[in-house]
Amino acid sequence: MFAIITAGTVRNGRRLILPPKGGDGMGIYDLYVFLILLITLILIIKS
């Protein structure tokens, strides 16, 4: 499961791991994408 989260994070941008280079806007966008992936995984596990 951790591998899936890591793969999704790397695919959507490395700004969650490394300092944002495209500005805070892109960093916030990547954070929302990560949260959506995390919520989706939780829903799949509970179902």
Give the tens place of pLDDT for each residue, 2-47. 665 565 555 555 555 555 555 555 566 777 888 888 899 999 999 8
What is the span of the domain harbouring residue 7? 2-46
Q: Which residue has the higher pLDDT, 1 or 39?
A: 39
36-40: list long-range contacts, CB under 8 Å, 24+ apart.
Answer: 37/5, 37/8, 37/9, 37/12, 38/5
pTM of the model: 0.43
The domain tally of the chain equals 1
